[in-house]
Amino acid sequence: MTDADCIFCKIVAGDIPATKVLENDRVLAFRDLYPKAPTHVLVIPKDHYANVAELTAADPALAGEVLRAAAEVALNEGVAEDGWRLLANTGANGGQEVFHVHFHVFGGKPLGRMLSN
Ligand code: AMP
């Protein structure tokens, strides 16, 4: 399941480059192009779903695989012990820019409050 206009589908297909840090049959993790923390990795299902709601409705097991991969990325990045943050922006108010569901894994420094005021 792919979307021809989706930049993350193009990364999955290998049509545009990315720095991959974890990959299996169904999940891919790669470094964010504009990192906001020392560790900033995006974890995605390879299949195209626009957001968390679509993913969980269509394939909750895959959602679980994505979360498991996020935890594995945190371990591999060496941030698991000190702590890290998992974030999925959704829709306009959530600040979502890429409409292929993705989880940001942030770590490597104190990340401060959950939201700015
Ligand atoms: P969001 O606002 O949650 O939709 O986040 C989209 C993220 O994708 C942003 O943090 C971007 O920096 C990141 N991004 C956009 N294009 C690429 C790309 N080609 N490779 C890696 N990260 C990207």
- pLDDT tens digits for range 65-114: 999 999 999 999 999 999 999 999 999 999 999 999 999 999 999 999 98
CATH superfamily of 7-107: HIT-like (3.30.428.10)
Question: Domain boundaries in the chain?
Answer: 7-107
2-11, 36-45, 96-105: which has the minimum mean pLDDT?
2-11
CB distance 19 to ligand 1 below 6 Å: no
- Listed residue (19, 59, 67) closest to 43, CA to CA: 67
How many C-beta neighbours within 10 Å does residue 38 have?
Answer: 12
For residue 106, the 8-state DSSP code is E
Beta bridge partners of 43: 29, 103
Tokens linked to 58: 């269509």
Give the pLDDT band (50/70/90) at residue 5.
very high
Amino acid of residue 83: G
pTM above threshold 0.95:
yes
22 membership: H or E segment, kind and range? strand 20-23
91 membership: H or E segment, kind and range? helix 91-94
Does the active-site annotation cover 102?
A: yes
Beta bridge partners of 107: 39, 84
Distance from the CA of 33 to the center of ligand 1, in angstroms? 6
Amino acid of residue 31: R
Catalytic residue among 40, 100, 102, 104: 102
